[in-house]
């Protein structure tokens, strides 16, 4: 009996501390190029963050995307995201796209939100060797969301960066 309870408690603890990071290879529908992404969901009330490498011919680009489901009509703003990598100063990355659309046509306050920030090479170079990455994204109704990548998610971001054609 004690062994069964112990196993159950361990399973619950592992499930609760899971980071929900996921590595996904794919194809860019527009260019036909290859994409590699890592999506991290830090929890129920924080936006998810995706880090993507896009390879199209000899051109390689990176982007950070935030997305969430909001029940209060909350939207991401176009204020630049802030990124703090290890002991480097806080840096900003301009958001080039922020959109929101209702999920429920009868209740326009329930929305699916997303934003996109193309990520410059100097930040990619810092992420390659980072031990800690924290991101801040702004919304129009509440305090900014701060997401600190788990060790697992940061390892996936590094794996995305290292992927070749």
In a domain, residue 11? The reply is: no
In a domain, residue 2? The reply is: no
First to last CA, the chain: 53
Question: Residue 126's pLDDT band (boundaries 50, 70, 90)?
Answer: very high
In a domain, residue 1? The reply is: no
pLDDT (tens digit, 9 = 90+) per residue, 32-86?
A: 889 999 999 888 778 999 999 999 988 999 999 998 877 777 788 899 999 999 9
Helices 121-128, 151-162: inter-axial angle, 10-degree rounding:
120
Give residue 105's pLDDT.
63
In a domain, residue 112? The reply is: yes
CATH number of residue 95's parent domain: 2.60.40
How many domains, in total, are found in the chain?
1
């Amino acid at each position: 009996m004690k062994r069964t309870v112990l196993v159950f408690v361990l399973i619950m603890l592992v499930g609760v501390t899971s980071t929900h990071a996921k590595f996904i290879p794919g194809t860019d529908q527009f260019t036909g190029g290859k994409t590699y992404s890592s999506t991290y969901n830090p929890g129920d009330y924080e936006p998810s963050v995706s880090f993507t490498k896009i390879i199209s011919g000899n051109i390689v680009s990176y982007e950070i995307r935030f997305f969430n489901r909001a029940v209060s009509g909350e939207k991401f703003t176009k204020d630049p995201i802030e990124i703090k990598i290890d002991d480097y100063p806080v840096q900003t990355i301009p958001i080039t796209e922020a959109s929101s659309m209702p999920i429920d046509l009868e209740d326009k306050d329930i929305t699916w939100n997303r934003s996109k920030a193309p990520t410059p090479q100097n930040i990619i170079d810092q992420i390659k060797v980072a031990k800690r990455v924290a991101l801040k994204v702004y919304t129009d109704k509440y305090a900014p969301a701060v997401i600190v990548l788990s060790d697992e998610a940061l390892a996936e971001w590094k794996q995305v960066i290292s992927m070749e054609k």
